[in-house]
Amino acid sequence: MAGQGSLRLSRKSDDVVVLEKDLSTEQMVLSMGPQHPSTHGVLRLECLTDGEIITEAEPYLGYLHRCFEKHCEHVDYPAIVPYTDRMDYLAGINSEMAYCVAVEKLLDVEIPRRVEFIRVIVSELNRIASHLVAIGTYAIDLGAFTPFLFCFRDREHILNMLEWATGARMLYNYIWVGGLAYDVPAGFNERVLEFVNYFRPKALELQQLLTENEIFVKRTKGVGIMPADVAINYGWSGPMLRGSGVQWDLRRNDPYSIYPELDFAVPVPDGKLSVVGDCLSRHLVRALEIEESLKIIEQCIDKMPGTEGFNPRAAVPKRVRPKAGEVYGRAENPRGELGFYIQSDGKSTSPLRCKARSSCFVNLSAMKDLSRGQLIPDLVAIIGSLDIVLGEVDR
Amino acid sequence: MIHSALPQFSMPLLMGNSLNAWSDALAGFSPAGLPVGLLIIAAIPLVFIALYALTYGVYGERKISAFMQDRLGPMEVGKWGILQTLADILKLLQKEDIVPTSADKFLFVIGPGVLFVGSFLAFAVLPFSPAFIGANLNVGLFFAIGIVSLEVVGILAAGWGSNNKWSLYGAVRSVAQIVSYEIPAAIALLCGAMMAGTLDMQQITIQQSGPLGFAHFFLFQSPIAWLPFLIYFIASLAEVNRAPFDIPEAESELVAGYFTEYSGMKFAVIFLAEYGSMFMVSAIISIVFLGGWNSPLPNIGPLALNDMTTGPVWGAFWIISKGFFFIFIQMWLRWTLPRLRVDQLMYLCWKVLTPFAFVSFVLTAIWEIYVP
């Protein structure tokens, strides 16, 4: 750490010259991760630090690389769905949704309306669960432990419901190309409504405990500011981009499924509580989106068609063999735009090429810029606000 | 003694005096000229400290955090998990005692020891009851303030000796924090010393005795005493590295701070020192501002609650209860608040607490001189 110290001459007066020795400091390389509590998985940051200040942070990826895209070229279209679950494992259903939207676009199939409603309900439930993890772990990053457990307590209810509907807690394989694995169980809608009513006051409690906390605001306000134009240039999407004040939500701007029929707001920070583009804005966007998701769920349950003559697998093709061509389908994930670019040669039952555009990966690309000149605690706050899932970054 | 005048009050209210009688009898127990009884009485607080710090501080922390987080906490070992900490200690004792190959072995080994000594030496001057004080120094308060600084040496030795960058960060942060927060803490305690006119811990406590119970406590003796009280409480949180000032160990930033590399019993010793310090600062704040071993209950007419709840054993009961109360608040804060950033911590110390500590110092001086 301590270097030799540099010598320098300083002139006290005309004939007195003093030889001074500085206590010089060297920069220290600090390897943060891949096993670090707040890198949210196996991200590794090689930081060049000057005391507590980070002069440069270089993210290293690939510790969780599983060759998703190569696998896709060797399995059938429907068999890729479980792989997408394992990308963003906190929002498996949303990933399935994005993939199925892309393949269905390529196949050009008509989806039963009830299937669309169920898809939206489960994916919004999963979005809430995912945002709860994001908020809870963000609280832990800033040293508050209790909100994390409050979030996980409520997430548990969602996971129980999803388990009831899909048979799994994290890796669902529920949304199939052209339909669903199963219809929702009888009484599912009532239980979802019960949860919505239970959860509203809990969300308020969480807000009072965390978002209105003086120390929390001090730690996040004005930290890691990302201007809107830079965010767009980086290709940011989702709550990250909305945190910078850009009202961009694929459910609105490039609608898929039944989202055009639903009434919900796209929250962006107004700059009153937070500085637009800082960590607090991104946190607020997530907190507000939970409320919007609850609204969507209520509307879906209200408008959902009945079960008469309903077969969730009615439109599921026996063998998926799309015409030769290519498609880019995308959906709004809790972490931003998850897109699948799929190329079909028209003969094979597996894609010629399947490229996933991962929101976390794109959002993480700004890490180097955001971390320059920050303190170590702020770096932790910034990584937390990016809300990355390494399963999706590395794929 | 007033109890003879109230024969109709049975056990609960007479407890105080029967306890006193019991302890007096024990103190007089000296077979073959050896003061065995006195030794037993002297050992009670020390046994309490060890038991408390080893087991029930940790157990309480886990149960209180569980209560605040809608959980049950430890439930498996013993009824309601009361033996959980003993099981943990047994586990830690069996663990391999790892010293990293590149660590500075000497510093690495003495670090936890120094930390432990710094934390537990201050117990010597804490008056646990009118009859028990380890060392009745006439500069007891000064000693307590000074000896806490020894912890810094232990933390720095542990952090530097670990030869781990995260540990070093933790140690450097910790030294900056503890050294800074000692200033407002010491000035706030001086306000109490000024009100008492002495640095003798036992004398400070005795001056807060009286038939009106809590009304004699320094906190209620002057209209500005709440200011040094609050300042010392906040600063003491920082001195013992508790949330929201736990930046030296900040688990989400620095993995575990200065004790990242420690395992087994050395880790347990560091933990023990932390819980010991928690109780120590809680005891100091109760002695200086809340009357130490004095009963907070006032004498109301014929109901002489204060007299009944005063005595050596009752004294220990009161100071331990007050200490536990502050420990509960420390835990409550820890499980509620996020952590401050390093610069915010220093801002709070130098720009908020220290000026206010000086203000309270001057105001207390004025109050003590001009208001009899």
Q: Residue B132: helix, strand or coil by DSSP?
A: strand
Check B250 against A143: CB less than 8 A apart. yes
In this complex, which of B69, B254, B338 lies closest to A142 when CB atoms are compared? B338
For residue A49, the SS3 value is strand
Between helix B84-94 and helix B57-68 the angle, nearest 10°, is 120
What residues of B are in contact with residue A52 (Cβ under 8 Å)? 169, 342
Which residue, among B214, B221, B210, B211, has the nearest Cα to B301 in the 3D structure? B211
CA A66 vs. chain centroid, Å, equals 19
d(CA B304, CA B210): 12
pLDDT tens, N- to C-terminus, chain A (395 residues): 344 556 666 666 767 777 666 666 678 888 887 888 877 778 888 888 887 788 888 888 888 888 888 888 889 888 889 988 888 888 889 999 999 988 888 888 888 888 889 999 999 999 999 999 999 999 888 888 888 888 998 999 999 999 998 888 888 889 888 888 888 888 888 999 999 999 999 888 888 888 888 888 888 888 888 888 998 999 898 898 998 888 888 888 888 888 888 888 888 888 788 888 888 999 989 988 999 999 999 999 888 888 787 888 877 888 888 888 888 988 988 988 888 999 888 888 888 888 988 888 898 888 888 888 888 888 888 888 888 888 888 88
Q: What length is written for chain A?
A: 395
- The pLDDT score that the predictor gives to residue B131 is 67
In angstroms, how far is the first alpha carbon of chain B from the final one? 30
Q: pLDDT-derived band of residue B7, with 50, 70 and 90 as boundaries?
A: very low
Q: Is the pLDDT of residue B56 over 60?
A: yes
Helical (H) or strand (E) element with B76: none
A377 vs B contacts (CB less than 8 Å): 247, 250, 253, 339, 341-342
Cβ under 8 Å to B: A residues 282-341: none
Percent over 70 (pLDDT), chain B: 83
Q: Give pLDDT tens digits for B323-359.
A: 888 988 988 888 888 888 888 888 888 888 999 999 9
Q: Check if the beta carbon of residue B236 is closer than 8 Å to that of residue B285.
A: yes
* Cα-to-chain-centroid distance, residue B173: 22
Q: How confident is the model at residue B51 (pLDDT cuts 50, 70, 90)?
A: low
* pLDDT tens string B253-301: 777 778 888 888 888 888 888 888 888 888 889 988 888 888 888 777 7
Residue range B65-89: mean pLDDT, rounded: 84
Reply yes or no: is the peptide bond before residue A351 cis, omega within 30 of 0.
no
Highest mean pLDDT among B27-31, B78-82, B190-194: B190-194
How far apart CA A129 and CA A117 sit, in angstroms, is 18
Measured distance CA(A50)–CA(B369) in Å, rounded: 50
Which two tokens mark B230? 């609050």
Task: Looking at the complex, report in whole angstroms how far the Cα of residue A60 sits from the nearest Cα belonging to chain B.
Answer: 18
Q: Which chain A residues are within 8 Å of B252, Cβ to Cβ?
A: 37-38, 140-143, 380
Q: Which residues of B touch A28 (CB under 8 A)?
A: 165
| B341 → closest Cβ in A30, A37, A219 | A219
Answering whether pTM is above 0.90, one says no
What is the overall mean pLDDT for chain B? 80
Neighbouring CB atoms inside 10 A of A214's CB total: 10
Segment holding A259, helix H or strand E = none
Separation between Cα atoms, residue B65 and residue B251, nearest integer Å: 17
User: Residue A223's pLDDT is what?
Assistant: 86
For this complex, say whether ipTM is above 0.90. Answer: no
Task: Give the pLDDT of residue B14.
Answer: 40
pLDDT band with cut points at 50, 70 and 90 for residue B41 = low
Q: Which residues of A touch B245 (CB under 8 A)?
A: none
- All residues of chain B having their beta carbon less than 8 Å from the beta carbon of residue A380 are 252-253
Record: contact B338-A144, CB cut-off 8 A: yes
Compute the average pLDDT of residues B25-51. 66
Distances (CA, A) of B318 to B121, B131, B286, B312, B313: 21, 13, 10, 10, 9
**In this structure, how many other beta carbons lie within 10 angstroms of the beta carbon of residue B100?**
17
Residue B3 has pLDDT above 70, yes or no: no
DSSP state of A224: S
β-bridge mates for residue A326, sequence order: A343
CB nearest to B338's CB, from A36, A139, A153: A139
- Domains annotated for chain A, with CATH where assigned, are 7-57 (no CATH), 62-394 (1.10.645.10)
**H/E element holding B276?**
helix B264-289
Q: Strand B299-300 relative to strand A325-333: parallel, antiparallel, unpaired?
A: unpaired
Q: What is the domain partition of chain B in residue ranges?
A: 102-370
Q: What is the pLDDT of residues B309-332, one digit of tens each?
A: 777 777 878 888 888 889 889 888
Does A142 contact chain B (CB < 8 Å)?
yes
What is the CB neighbour count within 10 angstroms for residue A210? Answer: 24
State which H helix or E strand residue A329 sits in: strand A325-333
What distance in Å separates residue A133's CA from the closest CA in chain B? 16
Nearest to B70 among A142, A149, A219 (CB): A149
d(CA A149, CA B247): 21
